[in-house]
Amino acid sequence: LRFEELISEKTIGRLSLYRRLLAGLMADNHQNICSHELAALSGGTASQVRRDLMAIGYSGSPAKGYQVADMAESIGRFMDNPDGSRAAIVGMGNLGRAIVKYFSGRNPKLSIVAAFDNDPNKIGRTVHGCFCHDIAEIAQVVAGLSIRLGVITVPAEAAQDIARLLVNAGITGILNFAPTHLHLGEDAYVEDIDLTMSMEKVAYFGQMGDSPDG
Amino acid sequence: LRFEELISEKTIGRLSLYRRLLAGLMADNHQNICSHELAALSGGTASQVRRDLMAIGYSGSPAKGYQVADMAESIGRFMDNPDGSRAAIVGMGNLGRAIVKYFSGRNPKLSIVAAFDNDPNKIGRTVHGCFCHDIAEIAQVVAGLSIRLGVITVPAEAAQDIARLLVNAGITGILNFAPTHLHLGEDAYVEDIDLTMSMEKVAYFGQMGDSPDG
DNA sequence: ACATGTGAAGTTATTCACAGCC
DNA sequence: GGCTGTGAATAACTTCACATGT
């Protein structure tokens, strides 16, 4: 388990995906799986699966392929913070509540444990087990619960300030739904989910590159 | 305006982003902008901005840079379907409703015009101007409204079947929130938004690659 | 035979660097 | 000077192909 060699974002994303697929297989009592089966499930190629596993130093056997439970555990050992990861979400609008619901109870090692908003109607309420605080309490609550991750679901105009508040409170990773680029330098890793952009990509590629006979 | 040369998904994504930034600049009465300013706003580099614009054949002037309104219009001419693009969403749970709300009134050329669910409590209701039909009516409604795009916000187990229904009804582009790879061959362009994967990436990179002194 | 693991090759994406222009 | 546009160089990612093991 060494960090000398850096692993690409794409590989980490696929490892996360593999793990979820493996969980499904375990539920179906599958014991072994080989690279091209996992590739078919994940939408990639067998080579890519093998390379990704190579990156975390996981090995299978040429005889039986990979062992499902073992691989899942290896991915977890590599990716998960042993102490678990706690996240805070800022912005309890429709999208924020949907996100809280989505992650609620899904993974005890990666859960949203606090919410924030500036709307008095939302402050003090509990949504899916997640209590909504006033934004003014970010520093306090984040420090108190050792929260390291943030989810931003506020309007674009507010996102940069909120991001700065989160970083100042000790947060080092942000999932950002606001359609704005966050300027945080090296202070935090930011992953953007831009719904408009994704939808426009679908519109463009869905309606233009039609039916190239392949 | 020719399609001989294919444009990458990444470039299309950034063009979508540039356009939104330009809209903001227009609202502030900015007339001109140069590549590194747009780069700073978008989080990219000046070279990349210039390359992206080259891809759609848009040119600025060495004297004044690019003209904001003109560039926005060029991007629109390149990316938008002149007839507009209509989308249907399947799955009116929390996430589905949040998505409908998110896109509601945002862009008349790209709007969600129909919803579907199999829950009798949801069928017949209107959410943010979007009427929810029974899933059994997909073929009918999609054809009737000339819908070409789909958004999938159903549980993973149901996603593949729903995707097939949509494609059979004539849909060629899908924005998929279900954590499953959709097997549709060349029938449709699929863009996946995998919230768990994104969150796990944030957890990994936010908590591991900390503070390399740059 | 069919699997993994991996150097080598290929492909795609980004950045550099500079010619040309204002 | 600072800008754009773009060939050339670089870096990142993916696939190929095959040695090796069982």
Contact B196 A85 (CB under 8 A): no
Q: Gap from A59 CA to D3 C1', in Å?
A: 53
Measured CA to CA, the distance from residue B83 to residue A70 in angstroms comes to: 52
Q: Is A214 at the interface with chain B, CB within 8 A?
A: yes
Q: Is A23 at the interface with chain B, CB within 8 A?
A: no
Nucleotide nearest to B63 (CA to C1'): C22
CA B38 to chain centre: 20
| Contact flag, residue B122 CB and nucleic strand D, below 7 A | no
Given a contact cutoff of 8 angstroms between Cβ atoms, the answer to whether A51 and A35 are in contact is no
Comparing C-alpha atoms, which of B142, B92, B94 is closest to residue B117? Answer: B92
- For position A6, what pLDDT does the model report? 87
Measured CA to CA, the distance from residue B157 to residue B179 in angstroms comes to: 9
Given a contact cutoff of 8 angstroms between Cβ atoms, the answer to whether A55 and A96 are in contact is no
Beta bridge partners of B130: B127
Phi and psi based region of residue B128 (left: phi greater than 0; alpha: psi -120 to 50; beta: remaining)? left
Measured CA to CA, the distance from residue A206 to residue A86 in angstroms comes to: 37
Pairing of strands B149-152, B173-176: parallel
- For position B1, what pLDDT does the model report? 36
The mean pLDDT of B165-189, rounded to a whole number, is: 97
Helix B9-27 and helix B68-79, axial crossing angle in degrees, nearest 10: 140
pLDDT tens for A197-212 read 999 999 999 998 443 3
Strand C nucleotides in reach of protein CB atoms, 7 A cut-off: 2-7, 12-17, 20-22
Q: Which helix (H) or strand (E) holds A43?
A: none
Q: Which residues of A touch B89 (CB under 8 A)?
A: none
- Scanning chain A, the segments in alpha helix (DSSP H) are 9-27, 35-42, 46-55, 68-79, 94-103, 138-144, 156-168, 195-208
Q: What is the share, in percent, of chain B residues with pLDDT greater than 90?
A: 91
User: pTM score, two decimals?
Assistant: 0.94
- For position B6, what pLDDT does the model report? 86
- For position A62, what pLDDT does the model report? 87
- Scanning chain B, the segments in alpha helix (DSSP H) are 9-27, 35-42, 46-55, 68-79, 94-103, 138-144, 156-168, 195-208
Task: Using a 7 Å CB cutoff, list residues 53-92 of A near strand D.
Answer: 61-63
The interface residues of chain B toward chain A in range 133-152, judged by CB-CB distance below 8 A, are 148-149, 151
Query: What letter would DSSP give residue A80?
Result: S
Q: How buried is residue B8: exposed, middle or buried, by Cβ count under 10 Å (0-12/13-18/19+)?
A: exposed
Nearest CA to CA, how far is B104 from chain A (Å)? 11
- For position A5, what pLDDT does the model report? 64
| Contact flag, residue A34 CB and nucleic strand C, below 7 A | yes
Average pLDDT by stretches of 10, chain A with 214 residues: 71 98 96 96 97 96 93 96 96 98 94 98 96 98 98 98 98 98 95 98 85 35
Q: What is the share, in percent, of chain B residues with pLDDT greater than 70?
A: 95
Q: Gap from B39 CA to D2 C1', in Å?
A: 16
| Contact flag, residue A53 CB and nucleic strand C, below 7 A | yes
| Contact flag, residue B8 CB and nucleic strand C, below 7 A | yes
Comparing C-alpha atoms, which of B76, B140, B199, B124 is closest to residue A204? Answer: B76
Pairing of strands B66-67, A32-33: unpaired
The mean pLDDT of B4-33, rounded to a whole number, is: 94
Query: For chain A, what percentages of helix, strand and coil (3-state, to nearest 5) are there?
Result: 45, 20, 35
Helix B35-42 and helix B46-55, axial crossing angle in degrees, nearest 10: 100
